[in-house]
């Protein structure tokens, strides 16, 4: 076949424009294939060479694809929008709602993990979504997340006006083995613990201890990075047992697909009966579910063994 049937309407419309007859002349009722081929050749202009500048960014096959988003300049954003210190549950829940929206839109994501102003999305190893182009993965995730942040803002910050649009930067990382992926998620959760412990001590020294931010920073600096010392400050100075702090603050949030049963009522009309009858219908469907749990140990991965594929 000399020309594509799918493209024929386009070329016919172009033909009707370029080959429009002068008054009094006659034309064929249907554009001929020769004219269509000529128009197709015209479409390949001398400027098309610029496509050669595009870089091939296909992700290596049989690797986990991770897209991590971070809030751009969120220290300033949190300050200007009066986020509660050290943790604002409104902001954390909004981030999770945005991540849920991303997972519901891009079903190849098997697990997501978030803390503070970041979220990581893990695409299944065998995903061939957009031919595994890294730029497509990153831009789709970032744009869906950022637009959702603005869209759902009022659901979590009813009394706080969104002063300006938030920004998120993203990166794509490939992990060849299941262990690599687990270590990545463990690293992000360990980072959540380290940052949250520091912030919990810091802001208690400021808010309850009456210190300036400089004084609080100096005290934490004197005690080094040992978690035991920070736990001791919390307990001895403020009677806070860090282990009793909310799991969402200490562990972050993991999003997984879970099968749930939805029970609804349906009105039907039985054969040979005039009256309608309500019946109970149970439907099983997958839903994105947030969990606040440990990802470093074995329990989570044994309970959700479907996430990891065979590494062979």
pLDDT < 50: residue spans in the chain: 1-7, 11, 14-15, 17-19, 21-29, 311-312
Q: For position 29, what pLDDT does the model report?
A: 47
Q: For position 82, what pLDDT does the model report?
A: 96
Q: For position 3, what pLDDT does the model report?
A: 44
Distance between CA atoms of residues 129 and 106, nearest Å: 9
Q: For position 34, what pLDDT does the model report?
A: 55
Distance between CA atoms of residues 197 and 116, nearest Å: 13
Written as six digits, the tokens of 257 are 């697909």
The reply to whether 202 sits in an annotated binding site is: no
How confident is the model over 163-211, as pLDDT tens digits? Answer: 999 999 999 999 999 999 999 999 999 999 999 999 999 999 999 999 9
Distance between CA atoms of residues 49 and 12, nearest Å: 26
The reply to whether 28 sits in an annotated binding site is: no
Cβ atoms of 308 and 181 within 8 Å: the answer is yes
What is the CB neighbour count within 10 angstroms for residue 163? 9
The reply to whether 224 sits in an annotated binding site is: no
The reply to whether 75 sits in an annotated binding site is: yes
Q: What is the pTM of this model?
A: 0.80
Cα separation values, 154 from 148, 151, 191, 192, 242, Å: 11, 8, 29, 26, 31
The reply to whether 191 sits in an annotated binding site is: no
The reply to whether 297 sits in an annotated binding site is: no
- Residue 287's nearest CA partner among 239, 263, 255 is 255
Phi, psi of 186 (to 5 degrees): -65, -40
The reply to whether 16 sits in an annotated binding site is: no
Place of tokens 């060479």: 49
Distance between CA atoms of residues 21 and 307, nearest Å: 63
H or E segment and range at residue 291:
strand 276-291
The reply to whether 140 sits in an annotated binding site is: no
Written as six digits, the tokens of 13 are 């419309």
Q: For position 285, what pLDDT does the model report?
A: 86
Q: For position 221, what pLDDT does the model report?
A: 77
Q: For position 24, what pLDDT does the model report?
A: 47
């Amino acid at each position: 076949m000399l020309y594509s049937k799918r493209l024929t309407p386009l070329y016919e419309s172009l033909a009707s424009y370029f080959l429009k007859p002068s008054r009094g002349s006659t034309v064929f009722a249907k554009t001929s294939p020769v004219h269509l081929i000529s128009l197709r050749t015209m479409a390949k202009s001398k400027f098309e060479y610029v496509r050669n500048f595009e870089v091939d960014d296909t992700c290596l096959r049989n690797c986990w694809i991770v897209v991590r988003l971070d809030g751009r300049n969120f220290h300033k954003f949190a300050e200007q929008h009066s986020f509660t210190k050290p943790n604002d549950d409104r902001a954390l829940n909004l981030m999770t709602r945005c991540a849920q929206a991303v997972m519901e839109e891009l079903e190849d994501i098997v697990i997501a993990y978030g803390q503070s102003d970041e979220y990581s999305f893990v695409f299944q190893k065998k995903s061939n979504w957009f031919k595994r182009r890294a730029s497509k993965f990153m831009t789709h995730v970032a744009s869906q997340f950022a637009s959702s942040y603005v869209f759902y803002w009022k659901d979590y910050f009813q009394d706080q006006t969104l002063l300006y649009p938030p920004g998120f930067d993203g990166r794509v990382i490939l992990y060849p083995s299941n262990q690599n992926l687990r270590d990545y998620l463990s690293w992000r959760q360990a980072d959540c613990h380290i940052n949250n412990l520091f912030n919990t001590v810091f802001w208690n020294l400021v808010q309850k201890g009456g210190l300036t931010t400089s004084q609080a920073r100096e005290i934490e600096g004197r005690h080094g990075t040992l978690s035991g010392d920070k736990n001791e400050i919390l307990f001895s100075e403020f009677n806070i047992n860090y282990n009793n702090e909310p799991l969402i603050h200490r562990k972050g949030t993991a999003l997984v697909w879970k099968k749930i049963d939805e029970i609804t009522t349906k009105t039907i009309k039985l054969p040979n009966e005039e009256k309608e009858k309500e019946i109970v219908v149970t439907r099983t469907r997958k839903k994105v579910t947030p969990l606040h749990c440990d990802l470093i140990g074995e329990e989570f991965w044994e309970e959700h063994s479907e996430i990891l594929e065979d590494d062979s």
